[in-house]
Each structure stands twice: as structure tokens, then as C-alpha cells.
Amino acid sequence: MSARRIRFIDPFQPAQIRRLVRQFGSPLLILDCERVRVQVRKLRAALQRVDLHYALKPMPHAAVVQTVLAEGGCLDLATSGEVQLARRLGVDPARCIHTHPIKRPQDIRNALDFGVRTFVADNPDEVRKFERFTDRAELLLRVSFRSPGAVCDLSRKFGCDPEDVLALARLAAELGITVRGLSFHVGSQAGDSAKHVEAIHACAALMAAGRRRKLGMLDTLDIGGGFPIDYTQPVQDIGRFCEPLRAALADLPKRVRVIAEPGRFIVGPAAIAVASVMGRARREGHWWYYLDDGLYGSYSGQLYDHARYPVEPLKDASERLPSVLAGPTCDSIDVIAENLMLPKLEAGDLIVGRAMGAYTWASASEFNFFPKATVIAVNLTPGDAGMAMPFPL
Ligand SMILES: *Cc1c(COP(=O)(O)O)cnc(C)c1O
């Protein structure tokens, strides 16, 4: 037995939330690294033998990156800024892939200089950009499978049509560029795994066709992200979501390495947003509460990510009145939620938004000079919970 006493802090408990606001002010985004660990383990259990590359985009924060790496995970980088963050944290580049289908020459050079080897391309122009780096870079070809059912369909903007994949692989071969395999991203917050399954089957057929034509493509299949989490609407449990997906992957040839690029699933449930009431007014029979965080801040995901977060005041009361929660800016669209039944609130009362780790703080702005929420990462090291510190990027 270690002499060290293991303390656990659940930073989502009311007393802890109040303590953190007293210490660090408001608004906060409280990030629980222990919950990040739980999410990594859950996804790993549901997708055994799939390498998990955390996509930084939903929450490009050092604490998340370090937690994922300490759990044995890898990274999916997409921009020079993300490469820079990984470099600054001393990440082993062998654990990173670069997946933006469209890159400036400088972006490619930045990633190569860091030591990344695997890149993604989805069209002839982009493949040609690697002609000068045949000794240092390898490609995954991103295939597009339209996904109108997903909340965010990512296959419209990126990916080549399945029928164009072999021609693209042939072009790469002619230029001496190694193609390692295929990748896809069916869209974020997928309702079920049917699209993933369809895409895996289609990629398996393309990979077999590539092998017959001696075009390589058979080392890696990257199944992207899209793994869903609960917001105001519950979704399928991740084990059930991945069941059909596992069955589809079992049909691939044994030598194919499968990787995934989860973003939302890893970090979404691991953070809450805490805002304070700045002031209130009674308008047309409703109490309007003006918070120090809103649609231009942590709640930006309501616009960009089409998300609806469970939002509740920290204090409870039996009497509840029709209420509106509004953000701080002078813009009239800056309203978080209307037609809520809330206890009567006062200036300084705290409002908590849950499942707010993904696509929230990352897309927040400082419109009207209202600063972004301060990120407080808690439980940075497993088993040594008693630490909370601000993490400036
Ligand atoms: C955004 C993104 C992800 C993460 O998607 P989630 O739905 O958040 O899991 C993964 N890969 C790529 C290429 C992305 O653009």
C-alpha cells in the first residue's frame, strides 16, 4: 500500500463548484481530467484493438492532451496551431497523425518538422503537394460518405467520392507517394452507427480493389470520430453504439490497423460551464437573468454545434417561475434558453451547464470584450485529485 492518501475530488459537486468560483472567479469551464480518463477507457473497451487518436478541435487544451496521452492514447492534429501545442507539450510525434484534407505548404512543413509522418488527402492537388516529401510522408485517402442524419455532416465539405479513390491512389503511386490506407468521418454526434458500418464495408471493398491493382492502401483504416454523448436527449450507450461497428471491423483482413479520431466523446462529458447572474429584469411576465457567459462564449456550441446543454441553477427552491437565461453581450440573439421554470435568482447566483467540454470554449469569442471562461483543470494526475489550477493556453 502506498503511504500516499488518494483523495478524490468531484469538481461537479455543488460545494466544489462554489469553492472553485470563490478561488478563480466566474465564468469558469471546469474540466475534470478523471472524467476524460473514464471516457477514454469506455471507448477503448467498446473498440478493442482500435488506436484512439484524440481530435483536438473540440477542446484544444493541454490538460486534455496530457490526460489522453497518459492513458496511452494518441493525437489527431489538423492545424499548425495544434501541431505547435503538441510540440510544446513534448508529445512523441510518432503518436500523432495530421488529418486536415486541405493544407498550405507551410502547414505540411510545420507538421513534418515536428515529426508527423501520416497525412490525409482527398483530391489530386493535395496529393501532389506530397511529391516533394515521398521519403518523409505517407497518406491516408479520405473518402466521403454523405451523412444527412448526423447533427453535423462532415462529408459534404471533405472527402473524395468512393468511385474516385482508386484513381487518386494511382496518381499517388505514379508520384512515388505511399498510400497507407483510407479514412472517413461520417459526421459528429451520429445518431447510430449505421453510417460507420456502411463506410467500413465500402472501405473494405475499396481496399481489396486497391490490393488487386497493387496500389497499397491496405495498412490502415481510419474510422474518424462521431461517437455520441448525452445532452438534453440521451443517446445509445457507447457499448451498444459500437457493437455493429466492431462486427464490421472483424471482417477486415487481419493486417489492417484500425484507428479512430474521437473528439466529442472524450471531452464532452468531462466539463461543466459555470456562469454567474450579473443582473435581472422582469419583462412580460418572465424573469430575465443576464449571465456573464453566453452564446458568444461557452454556449457558442448552441449555434455552431447545434447542441442543447442541460442548464440548471445551482440553488434549488420549491417555487419556480417562468424565466429566461441570457448572455452578457448587447446582441439580442445572445439568449441561452427561454421558457424555463427556475427558482428566483439573484445577482451572483450560479448557473451550471453540463456536457460542455466539446465545441464550447473552443469556439467561444470575446465579443463585446466579455472574456472567455477561465478553464480550471482538476484531477490532473490519476489518484492525486486535490489540485485545481488555471491553465492558460
Ligand atoms: C472534428 C473532427 C473529429 C472529431 O469528431 P467528433 O465527432 O468530435 O468525434 C475527428 N476527425 C476529424 C478529421 C475532424 O474534423
Q: Report domain extents, the chain.
A: 14-31+269-390, 34-267
Write out the H or E segment, with its range, that includes residue 288: strand 286-291
pLDDT tens track for 178-212? 999 999 999 899 889 999 999 999 999 999 999 99
What per-residue confidence (pLDDT) applies to 363?
A: 98
Q: Is 100 exposed, middle or buried (0-12, 13-18, 19+ CB in 10 A)?
A: buried
Residues sharing a CB contact under 8 Å with residue 346, sequence separation 6 or more, in sequence order? 277, 280
Low-confidence residues in the chain, pLDDT < 70: 1-8, 147-154, 383-393
> How far apart are the C-alpha atoms of 68 and 281, rounded to whole Å?
44
What per-residue confidence (pLDDT) applies to 66?
A: 96
What per-residue confidence (pLDDT) applies to 381?
A: 82
Question: Would you tell me which CATH number, out of the four given (3.40.50.12160, 2.40.50.100, 3.40.50.720, 2.40.37.10), belongs to the domain 14-31+269-390?
Answer: 2.40.37.10
Residues sharing a CB contact under 8 Å with residue 376, sequence separation 6 or more, in sequence order? 11, 20, 24, 28, 29, 30, 31, 388, 389, 390, 391
What per-residue confidence (pLDDT) applies to 9?
A: 83
Q: Which of 33, 74, 96, 330 is catalytic?
A: 330
pTM: 0.94
pLDDT tens track for 273-315? 999 999 999 999 999 999 999 999 999 999 999 999 999 999 9
What per-residue confidence (pLDDT) applies to 180?
A: 96
Task: Let me know how long the chain is.
Answer: 393
User: Which atom of ligand 1 lies at the shortest distance from residue 264's CA?
Assistant: 8
Contact between residue 373 and residue 364 where contact means Cβ atoms under 8 Å apart: yes
What per-residue confidence (pLDDT) applies to 152?
A: 63
Tell me if 14-31+269-390 shares its fold with 34-267. Answer: no
User: Which atom of ligand 1 lies at the shortest distance from residue 120's CA?
Assistant: 13
Q: Is the CB of 120 under 6 A from ligand 1?
A: no
C-alpha closest to that of 244 among 291, 283, 198: 198
What DSSP designation does 383 have?
T
Superfamily for the 34-267 domain:
Alanine racemase (3.20.20.10)
Contact between residue 165 and residue 123 where contact means Cβ atoms under 8 Å apart: no
What per-residue confidence (pLDDT) applies to 29?
A: 98
Give me ligand 1 centre to Cα 297, in Å.
21
Burial annotation 2-19 (CB, 10 A radius, 16+ → b, else e):
eeeeeeebebbeeebbee
What per-residue confidence (pLDDT) applies to 317?
A: 87
Residues sharing a CB contact under 8 Å with residue 221, sequence separation 6 or more, in sequence order? 181, 182, 183, 200, 203, 204, 207, 249, 252, 256, 257, 258, 259
Give me ligand 1 centre to Cα 99, in Å.
9
Nearest CA to ligand 1 atom 13: 99
Q: Is the CB of 188 under 6 A from ligand 1?
A: yes
Give me ligand 1 centre to Cα 72, in Å.
19
330 is catalytic: yes
